Structure 1
Amino acid sequence: MRFLILFLFFSNLTSFSQTITPFLTPYEKGNKNQTATYQEAIEFYTSLSQKYETVKLMEMGLTDSGEPLQLLIFNPEKDFDLKKNQNKAMLLINNNIHPGEPDGVDATMMLIRDLAIGKISVPKNTIIAVIPFYNIGGTLNRNSFSRANQNGPESYGFRGNDRNFDLNRDFIKSDTKNARSFAEIFHLVNPDVFIDNHVSNGADYQYVLTYIQTQHQKLGTDLGNYLKDQMTPKIRTQLLKKKIESIPYVTVYGATPEKGFTQMMDLPRYSTGYASLFHTIGYMPETHMLKKYEDRVKVTYEFMLETIAHTDANYLKIKELRNKNQFEFKAGNQYTLQWKIDSTKVEQIDFLGFESGYKKSEISGKDRLFYDQKKPFKKQIPYYHYYKPQKQVEIPSAYIIPKSWWNVIDLLKLNKVEMVQLDKDTLIEVEKYKIADYKTSTSAYEGHYQHSNTTVNKMIEKIVFKKGDYYIPTQQFAVKYLMETLEPEAPDSFFNWNFFDAILQQKEGYSTYVFEDLAVEILAKITTLKEKFEKKKAEDKAFSDNGSAQLDWIYKNSDYYESSHLTYPVYRVMN
């Protein structure tokens, strides 16, 4: 009888503990300095989805590793047709874009588990979608050394994917299968709020949690102000009630933060910058690399939880602002392509840091920076998070792209851009660009020798476009995506990412000894050209002293010069 009583007692105890926290994660089972492997996490989510009808795990498109991206959806109403549920808020979480920064992996496993078992409040108006591992190849490339500055976990993945791309530089150019499959997921989910979990690099300070949020001016006026003035402050207040201090991501490297820092301008190459092109509020939690892994996972969990809670309570407002935001960018309005910090607008913020100084390096004997964690401080420092336009362009009513540029057309289709093909050859008056100048990087960056400082000359011309060429109106949800990719002066334009490099090379030329005689005939025949030529020689001594330059000038101003050279093959319809 005594044995039976003990047996029942321990059976009930086991049953009780499972009721509290079934489906313990590898992180919880271990010493909380370990992150789940790819296989462990997928098995965990598979088991969870088999047990709870509110969770569904599905395979999506392929990655460079050959493995498919997984998409996990939590919906308390057990309906996983996302197109039917667009009346609800959609929140998308992305993990392990940099697999050496796996805090989000373990935090999200616990979060979805706690939602499924009802351990935490379940959102009524929000569906949560999760990409458990975005960089699968990097996740499988597990090691313990590639994050030299980071305090745990014991082992983790590698930053580059299977082709050594940094995926958080690939959202616009989409060189990887990962990015193309992500775009399919993103437009399927159509998230109102997006979270991409990371770990920081840079200065030392007291905070475990920092965050990058979409730059509010770049996002759009009303939606951006809502993010800056309401959503983020309320999330931070709720975190503070849990004794979690937070601050914007500290953009200081190789120096100390006391003199202040700026908000990161998240270009479209980055995940939150890409998301903002489709009017999505983006957050990139950046836990501090030197803090304990357990503490980092905890604050990542709480940040996601409070973001979900705020989204759920304000889902109608957020969806209304998103839908409204696209209409701010109308044809004829100015669109800012390039921004710069507005140093006249500065906010003094409280900062929890550590005293810093310099001491002799044991390696070089030279001065080296150090932070004294035994000397914490709290002081006000300047924070710059306002930008001002540096380069603007008028939004056209439409773009036209010849069907021959299929590489660009394919990316527009992937990103759900609305466009029609001309049903016959058509004469259309357009504004066209000639590339006037650009600089090209001398070192490789993410598979490209990227252009920058691009400038263009504009001209109006009537052009016969062919049947099948693409007419793309700007008055659509993807208007910002069109402006950022198709305007060559935008930092992350398709031009600057080398999509149009073929136009930068002349395909024909001339032999000087032949063209010398032809040039004489051209000047004799076209008097206006001769007048311009003589004027340029008179005003430009370097030109008048350079016979080759003179011959080339005549060639490039004659009918013999190919019109396609430096002509940007994306045309703007202005009325």
Structure 2
Amino acid sequence: KNALAFAEIFHLLKPDVFIDTHVSNGADYQYALTHLFTQHNKLGGPLGGYVHSDIMPKLEAALSGKNWDITPYVNVFNRPPETGFSQFMDFPRYSTGYTALWNTLGLMVETHMLKPYKTRVEGTYELLKSMIEITENEGDRIKALRAASHEAFTAAATYPIQWETDTTKTSTLSFKGYESGYIPSEVTGALRLYYDRNKPLTKAVAYQDHYKPSVEVTVPAAYIVPQGWWPVVKRLKANHVEMKSLEKDSAMTVEVYKIASYQTISSPFEGHYLHYNTKVTAIEETVRFRKGDYIVATLQPGFRYIMETLEPGAPDSFFNWNFFDTVLQQKEGFSPYVFEDTAKKMLETDEVLRKTFETEKENDKAFSGDWFAQLNWLYQRSVHYEKAYLRYPIYRVSKAQ
């Protein structure tokens, strides 16, 4: 409910700039303040470059004029930051990643946990004041760039759903840290990381602050969401996604995804066993939809939210957050003593199938010695095989239609 309440407030205000305030951990260094702007390549469009090359330097300069040093969020854990680090990738599960889906300029303030509370509060206050002043001066430009970014995204033929560090582009930070090393732990006897605050240092540190798309998908004209998936419909509505209900039962030619592979984390995250590295195959098929099913056009203000949640390969898709896990379970099977006769008939009447089956046995010794695997192989190619198994239940309508 907290997330739904946050969405309600966000869409009520429709902010041009969003700021979240946090406390950071992971390493020790001289800074009380660090900034975590939404990743500029992912924010994309003309707005992304503006945040990286204009807004961020202006904020740093404004705070420097108030004697507040600030650096990008120190994205390390249990290792010295002087070895270099990359910009944090704020996927849509994070507040600034979520607000970026509406081309809102997002900023996370991270104050250092080991600095005095008074210092952290004062630093946050000065940062907020500086950012408000910048926003006031740049307001018209920010609004124009937000609109331009939306137009650029919705006009594109493809949309990036996965990202990777661009190792060809590296920045250098003049980083203010402390000398560090490893000393024997008095608890475990193993070596532990140690920072010497009596030995501050300033060092040039490699900072990888550029990302590039690793997976892109074509943008459909619309998605069709069957009404039975009400938890998904509820979240689309909560995020002001425009939808139309089918007025009657209809047959439509659509693109259908099959889940080809995926992985799942071993421990729960926020109450979910998230999937990742999800890959799909696609076929075109005529599907019958029911009156009341939803057509979600992509050309609308919620374009990026739609793409990030309904494309199963996106890191924070509804699929990866377990909304469609029922399609991952095969509920139907076969009784070997009954299916034997059907399998025999299949091989007798389908020469291509028979040859493929024989080739499979010749090339796979384990398969050739496993009678159940052989029957299951044939069952998967029969008309009785469960159609819904691994079939992604959200459908894509091509722009060509």
Q: TM-score range by the shorter chain?
A: over 0.9
Structure-1 separation of matches of 2:325 and 2:101 = 25
Structure-2 separation of matches of 1:519 and 1:191 = 62
Is residue 361 of structure 2 the alignment partner of residue 537 of structure 1? yes
Is residue 250 of structure 2 the alignment partner of residue 250 of structure 1? no
Structure-2 separation of matches of 1:394 and 1:536 = 35
Cross-structure match for 1:291: 115
Is residue 370 of structure 2 the alignment partner of residue 550 of structure 1? no
> What amino acid does structure 2 have at the position aligned with 1:368?
R
Structure 2 alignment gaps of length 5 or more: none
Q: Deviations over 1:152-194 (max 9, x none)?
A: xxxxxxxxxxxxxxxxxxxxxxxxx111111111100111111
Q: Deviations over 1:68-100 (max 9, x none)?
A: xxxxxxxxxxxxxxxxxxxxxxxxxxxxxxxxx
* Structure 2 counterpart of 1:372, from 196, 209, 212: 196
* Structure 2 counterpart of 1:316, from 112, 116, 140: 140
Q: Could you say what secondary structure the match of 2:280 adopts?
A: strand
Is residue 146 of structure 2 the alignment partner of residue 334 of structure 1? no
- C-alpha displacement of 1:412: 0.2
- C-alpha displacement of 1:540: 3.3
- C-alpha displacement of 1:505: 1.1
- C-alpha displacement of 1:352: 0.6
- C-alpha displacement of 1:331: 6.2
* Structure 2 counterpart of 1:232, from 50, 56, 67: 56
Cross-structure match for 1:348: 172
Structure-2 separation of matches of 1:310 and 1:241 = 14
Structure-2 separation of matches of 1:198 and 1:261 = 20
Q: Which has the higher contact order (CA 8 A, sep 6+)?
A: 2
Q: Could you say what secondary structure the match of 2:162 adopts?
A: strand
Q: Which residues of 2 match residues 413-452 of structure 1 at below 5 A? A: 413-452=237-276
Q: Which residues of 2 match residues 406-555 of structure 1 at below 5 A? A: 406-555=230-379
2:164–2:211 contact (8 Å) kept in structure 1:
yes
1:331–1:394 contact (8 Å) kept in structure 2:
no
Structure-2 separation of matches of 1:264 and 1:515 = 54
Q: Could you say what secondary structure the match of 2:258 adopts?
A: strand
Cross-structure match for 2:12: 188
> What amino acid does structure 2 have at the position aligned with 1:401?
V
Structure-2 separation of matches of 1:475 and 1:424 = 23
Q: Could you say what secondary structure the match of 1:198 adopts?
A: strand
Cross-structure match for 1:396: 220
Structure-2 separation of matches of 1:534 and 1:479 = 49
Q: Deviations over 1:414-466 (max 9, x none)?
A: 00001111112222211110111111222222111111121111111121222
Q: Could you say what secondary structure the match of 1:515 adopts?
A: helix
- C-alpha displacement of 1:332: 5.9
Q: Could you say what secondary structure the match of 1:391 adopts?
A: strand
Structure-1 separation of matches of 2:167 and 2:89 = 14
Structure-1 separation of matches of 2:189 and 2:282 = 57
With over 3 angstroms needed to count, the CA separation of the structure-2 counterparts of 1:373 and 1:535, relative to structure 1, is: same
> What amino acid does structure 1 have at the position aligned with 2:212?
K
- C-alpha displacement of 1:300: 0.2
Structure-2 separation of matches of 1:274 and 1:366 = 41
Q: Which residues of 2 match residues 193-272 of structure 1 at below 5 A? A: 193-272=17-96
- C-alpha displacement of 1:386: 0.6
Question: Mean Cα displacement is larger for which, 257-266 or 533-542?
Answer: 533-542
> What amino acid does structure 2 have at the position aligned with 1:459?
I
- C-alpha displacement of 1:368: 1.9
* Structure 2 counterpart of 1:307, from 131, 139, 157: 131
Q: Deviations over 1:29-51 (max 9, x none)?
A: xxxxxxxxxxxxxxxxxxxxxxx
Question: Mean Cα displacement is larger for which, 359-368 or 504-513?
Answer: 359-368
Structure-2 separation of matches of 1:351 and 1:505 = 51
Q: Which residues of 2 match residues 39-50 of structure 1 at below 5 A? A: none
* Structure 2 counterpart of 1:567, from 391, 397, 400: 391
Q: Deviations over 1:266-300 (max 9, x none)?
A: 01111111111111111110001111111111110
Greater strand fraction, Structure 1 or Structure 2:
2
Q: Deviations over 1:232-252 (max 9, x none)?
A: 111111110001110000011
- C-alpha displacement of 1:539: 3.5
Structure-2 separation of matches of 1:468 and 1:572 = 17
Please report the TM-score for the alignment, with normalisation by the length of structure 1.
0.68
- C-alpha displacement of 1:497: 0.7
Give the number of equivalent residue pairs: 399
Q: Deviations over 1:395-423 (max 9, x none)?
A: 11111111111110110000000111111
Structure-2 separation of matches of 1:568 and 1:414 = 22
- C-alpha displacement of 1:522: 2.1
With over 3 angstroms needed to count, the CA separation of the structure-2 counterparts of 1:283 and 1:572, relative to structure 1, is: same
1:396–1:572 contact (8 Å) kept in structure 2:
yes
Structure-1 separation of matches of 2:275 and 2:295 = 26
Structure-1 separation of matches of 2:255 and 2:364 = 30
Rg larger in structure: 1
- C-alpha displacement of 1:326: 1.5
> What amino acid does structure 2 have at the position aligned with 1:246?
I
With over 3 angstroms needed to count, the CA separation of the structure-2 counterparts of 1:442 and 1:359, relative to structure 1, is: closer
Q: Where in structure 1 do 4 or more consecutive aligned residues deviate above 6 Å?
A: none
Please report the TM-score for the alignment, with normalisation by the length of structure 2.
0.96
Cross-structure match for 1:127: none
Structure-2 separation of matches of 1:543 and 1:388 = 42
1:326–1:476 contact (8 Å) kept in structure 2:
no
1:212–1:285 contact (8 Å) kept in structure 2:
yes
Structure 1 alignment gaps of length 5 or more: 1-176
With over 3 angstroms needed to count, the CA separation of the structure-2 counterparts of 1:255 and 1:426, relative to structure 1, is: same
2:260–2:280 contact (8 Å) kept in structure 1:
yes
1:213–1:282 contact (8 Å) kept in structure 2:
yes
